[in-house]
Chains A and B, each alone.
Chain A
């Protein structure tokens, strides 16, 4: 059993793990109750598990928890809440940019990473930034509009 200290959504947390290499995804969901980060493939292929690590969009399903002990992890829950959505989440709501919503957390987080690097991306840049996030329901067009809306200050 290993004791690991990690910082998630600006809060220091301690977790006890049988395997310190446990992917961050399982720690977030099962130890910290942050279930907004979703399991999609475990192969870094779909983006449903995307979180920010030091501001970079990262696949938590292949990120060993031991590797993030000195780094800042931000999950979808750390961005905003239904009552106080962050600007990207507000834009997703305005565009009704989700169907089943299972892939949505990862897209919102990926969009946050994009807008931190590039405050006014064009449409091609938005598409490229989300190229690794898969959606099966076909909400893509709304997601693109939502990210552009957020980039334009919500308009």
Chain B
């Protein structure tokens, strides 16, 4: 049955209707009066889509890319300040609101600055040229006699000037982005390249920052969704009397989509716990214990050669003196692990919907929500608000869909808050990866042939969006399929080996729903490739750094590796390190390198570890990273991203694995799915390379890619034992030290 607005009135609930909903939308904005911009241009080729100059000379920046805590909120301001020539503190920023910002694509793939910022930069540069032209007309001078300075167009002799506000305040630029509009001279940057503090930090550390989770609307109900006890189970019956004791709590049911709503949040929580429901059937999940085997045995949807050069026949028929080596690397399913479980708020009334979400792709999901609600896309507005950090697609879009369906059903604004168990159990997961590598090593210790075979779950072509849990449960038709991200990149080595065959075996299935997770695929791929390079170096009796440098032609790659080596005081010698096998603690060092996607950011990472032999516990004591992402708008924000990449990926490599039985995920809290804690945090030393004249390449992901390999290489150096399956939990390390398969 569906719970309606009328039911609620009968139940004696306090209902705020009609006119009060309109102001609630404005109240919900993070920027006061943002709705005054409704109707503004949104086309991403128009300057007015990105920028507005007001009568007081202040500037509003409209960004389709959002800041999930990465620093875009200051970096985008710095870009506009530099190119438009205004002070950054004069700029207000509106992010990810589909009614106010241009669609710049999802905030993903490390493209926030590299693409979104570059687009914005061109808009601001075009805007400055437009202001110079307006100033020329106003001052009766040629543009060549004019310059800009902090919101003013003036003659170069300084005798006459006119402010941006006087020229265009509250009026439109009315011009298209000019790809040739001249950019500022990097040698004279005033704001780009400076570590300006982020505007959101003071409010975040004092509890005043407003998150999506904090949003309340007049008349809003709190909801909790009850997911089935088994994947795909059908709801047979609901016993509404089971929540009769909870004040004001009501059941909402649409087919197998089941929720409770209440005026008070705690009552919704209690009702969700108390509600008795009968479920039947379901689609059994695969066997977790054997899923890597089933990946290898899977039917192949498609073979995709990534790199094929030379002749790899030495792998199967090695000549005299040629040694062969083969290894298999396994990467398990991971949760995004956001600290705040997903939340969604929606107000659906009549033929309109406003949805507040921490989605990294509000523009993309607008049409998706519209389809589910049966509304025209132009009737749906999705507004980004900060959630807990997201690193790909967590449960945010699903929670928003939950809220939208419930709001539509009951005719009131609804806030859905997922529980911790919901998030771990139901957020779309980072996919598992299986890579087998082979190499032939000639008598000089050179790589005569290299082969990578990667078994990876395939993304569905042209999938408009990840299918919503709620829509499936409510039997609302939607395109089915999976998304995994560009997980095939970096399965091939970044070194100039003459004979390479790297191929992806795309497989149709994954154990659970998947979505892109930070640096999709590249962490596991680099783990396999850069660990295997280390294995080859060890077989050849070569120093791991020298072995890499010998076949690395990219000078920027050489530079980051050399910087790390210098900082670590790298001693050239083969691994493992000669050590007393009876020592309680073995220590070692490892190194790894990635050229992200082979054409973006370059990262080298060194790691020092201690392995406690008795317990199998790994302690990472030191991480050294050199990082070249081209132009850095804000180096301190880049540094924070590097630190975050290192620590999050150490957590994933040391601790994390999603486990499930035949019905559902069983690792549904932080005890069953532990992550890195403060006592484990190593010293992190980062060397950032600034390239003012180069394009920005992105910093959100790349430094995560070499982490697991550097770690595994360091453990090998310390112990002579090679870890090839993540996570490196103590019991697994202990088994490996004892000579059992790791």
Chain A positions near chain B (C-beta within 8 angstroms): 17-19, 22-23, 26, 29-30, 34-43, 45-46, 48, 75-77, 79-82, 85, 89, 92-93, 96-105, 108, 124, 126-128, 130-144
A43-B669, A101-B69, A138-B644 are known contacts. Are A85 and B339 too (CB-CB below 8 A)?
Answer: no
In the bound complex, CA of A98 to CA of B202 (Å): 10
The size bracket of the interface on B is: 35 or more
Alpha-carbon distance A85/B206, docked complex (angstroms): 7
Contact between A42 and B209, CB atoms less than 8 A apart: no
CA distance in complex: A75, B207 (Å): 9
Most chain A CB neighbours (cut-off 10 Å) among B386, B387, B644, B676: B644
Contacts of B216 in A (CB 8 A): 30
State whether A77 and B207 are in contact (beta carbons under 8 Å apart), knowing that A18-B264, A135-B339, A141-B684 are contacts in the complex: yes
Partner of A42, one of B202, B419, B684: B419
B696 contacts chain A at the CB level, 8 A cutoff:
no
Chain B residues near A30 (CB-CB < 8 A)? 216, 264-265
Closest to A99 in B: B69
- Cross-interface CB contact of A102 among B70, B210, B211, B266, cutoff 8 Å: B211
**CB-based contact A89/B684 at 8 Å:** no
Within 225-266 of B, Cβ neighbours of A (below 8 Å) are at 246-248, 264-266
Known: A48-B340, A98-B201. A140 touches B386 (CB 8 A): no
| Contact between B213 and A101, CB atoms less than 8 A apart | no
* B442 is an interface residue with CB less than 8 A from chain A: no
Contact A45 B389 (CB under 8 A): no
Decide if B68 is an interface residue (CB 8 Å cutoff).
yes
Chain A-chain B contacts (Cβ-Cβ < 8 Å), number: 190
A99 surroundings in chain B (CB, below 8 A): 68-70, 389, 640, 644
What's the least CB distance linking B268 to chain A, in Å? 10
Instruction: Determine if B214 is an interface residue (Cβ-Cβ < 8 Å).
Output: yes
Docked-complex contact A101 and B643, CB < 8 angstroms:
no
Asked whether A104 lies within 8 Å of B669 as measured between CB atoms, the reply is: no
Complex CA gap A131/B636 in Å reads 25
Decide if B205 touches A89 in the complex (CB within 8 Å).
yes
Listed in ascending order, the chain B residues whose CB lies under 8 Å from chain A are 68-70, 197-198, 200-211, 213-214, 216, 246-248, 264-267, 269-270, 337-341, 386-389, 391, 417, 419-420, 636, 640, 643-648, 669-671, 675-679, 681, 683-684
**What is the bound-complex CA distance between A17 and B338, given in angstroms?**
30
- Contacts A45-B670, A99-B69: A81 and B644 contacting too (C-beta < 8 A)? no
Q: Which of B201, B246, B339 contacts A46 (CB 8 A)?
A: B339
Tell whether A36 pairs with B208 under 8 Å between CB atoms, given A30-B265, A93-B201, A102-B340: yes
Could you show 19 A-B contacts with beta carbons less than 8 Å apart?
Answer: A18-B267, A26-B266, A35-B207, A36-B208, A38-B340, A41-B341, A46-B339, A76-B206, A79-B206, A81-B206, A81-B208, A82-B202, A93-B197, A97-B205, A100-B69, A101-B69, A133-B678, A135-B339, A141-B684
Known: A141-B681, A144-B678. A136 touches B205 (CB 8 A): no
A100 touching B678, Cβ below 8 Å: no
List residues of chain B with CB within 8 A of the CB of A144.
678, 681
- CB closest residue in chain A, given B338: A136
Contact of B339 with A102 in the complex, beta carbons under 8 Å: yes
The answer to whether B640 and A140 have CB atoms under 8 Å apart is no
Q: Interface centre among A26, A75, A135, A144, by most B CB within 10 Å?
A: A135
Specify which of B206, B248, B417, B645 lies most central, judged by the most chain A CB atoms within 10 Å of its CB: B206
Once bound together, how far apart are the Cα atoms of A119 and B321, in whole Å? 66
Q: Are B213 and A93 in contact (CB under 8 A)?
A: no
Across the interface, which residues of B come within 8 angstroms of A37, CB to CB? Answer: 207
Chain B hits for A134, CB < 8 A: 339, 670, 675, 677
Residues of the A chain whose Cβ atoms lie less than 8 Å from the Cβ of B267: 18-19
A35 CA to B209 CA in the complex, in Å?
9
Q: How far is the CA of A85 from the CA of B386 in the complex (A)?
A: 22
Partner of A45, one of B264, B640, B669: B669
> In the complex, A124 Cα to B70 Cα: how many Å?
28
Chain B neighbourhood of A142, CB < 8 A: 640, 643
Which of B197, B214, B341, B647 sits near A140, CB closer than 8 Å?
Answer: B647
User: Which residues on A sit within 8 Å (CB–CB) of B387?
Assistant: 100, 102
Q: When the two chains form the complex, which single residue of B205, B265, B337, B645 contacts A101, counting CB atoms closer than 8 Å?
A: B205
Indicate if the CB atoms of B643 and A42 lie closer than 8 Å.
no
Whether B206 contacts A82 by the Cβ 8 Å rule is yes
Give the distance to chain A from B70, nearest Cβ to Cβ, in Å: 7
| Chain B residue nearest to A83 in the complex (CB) | B202
Smallest Cβ distance from A124 to chain B, in angstroms?
A: 8
List residues of chain A with CB within 8 A of the CB of B209: 36, 101
Q: Which residues of B contact A36 (CB under 8 A)?
A: 206-209
B643 near A138 with CB under 8 A, answer: yes
Nearest-Cβ distance from residue A96 to partner chain B, whole angstroms:
6
Whole-angstrom distance between the Cβ of A66 and the nearest chain B Cβ: 13
With A99-B70, A102-B387 as given contacts, are A85 and B670 in contact (CB-CB < 8 Å)?
no
CB of B372 to closest CB in A, whole Å: 26
A80 to B68, CA, bound (A): 24
Which residues of chain B have C-beta atoms less than 8 A from A139's C-beta? 640, 643-644
A84 to B70 Cα, complex, angstroms: 25
User: Are B203 and A82 in contact, CB atoms less than 8 angstroms apart?
Assistant: yes
Report B-chain residues with C-beta under 8 Å of the C-beta of A79: 206
Which of A41, A97, A108 is B670 in contact with, Cβ under 8 Å?
A41
Residues of A within 8 Å of B636, CB to CB, are: 96
How far, in whole Å, are A123 and B643 apart by their CA atoms in the complex? 18
Given the known interface contacts A76-B207, A101-B204, the answer about A138 and B647 at a Cβ–Cβ threshold of 8 Å is yes
Evaluate contact between A45 and B671: CB separation under 8 angstroms.
yes
Residues of B within 8 A of A40 (CB): 339-341, 388, 420
- Min CB distance B168 to A, Å, is 32
Residues of B within 8 A of A137 (CB): 69, 389, 644, 648
B205 touches which of A38, A108, A128 (Cβ 8 Å): A108
